[in-house]
Amino acid sequence: MPPETVRIGFTVSKKVGNAVKRNRARRRLRAAVDEVAPFHAREGYDFVVIGRAATVKRPYAMLVNDLKTAFKRLDDQRKT
């Protein structure tokens, strides 16, 4: 695998709810990451996105904003 590849994993535990809720949370996170990662994820790193119970009900625009903030904070930490 080339070093400039970005790999993103998703995990949603049973604490989120039944299989329907976990899958919905995973799909929402995957869609948000697909929108944000090409512009904000730094190449050559692996990321793990963890779904929480609030992921299912959180407005999609807020999920996207949360991911942008997380990627920015990670980038800021790498620079220091």
Structural domains for the chain: 7-79 (3.30.230.10)
- What number is the average pLDDT over the span 59-71? 96
Burial class (CB in 10 A: 0-12, 13-18, 19+), 18: exposed
Whether 76 has a pLDDT exceeding 90, the answer reads no
Whether 79 has a pLDDT exceeding 90, the answer reads no
Q: H helices within 3-79, ranges in order?
A: 19-40, 60-79
pLDDT of residue 16: 96
pTM of the predicted model as reported, rounded to 2 decimal places: 0.88
pLDDT of residue 3: 66
pLDDT of residue 2: 67
pLDDT one-digit tens code per residue, 16-60: 999 999 999 999 999 999 999 999 998 889 999 999 999 999 999
70 φ, ψ (degrees, to nearest 5): -65, -45
Task: Find, among 67, 54, 50, 47, the residue nearest to 12 by Cα.
Answer: 50
Are the CB atoms for 51 and 12 separated by under 8 Å? yes
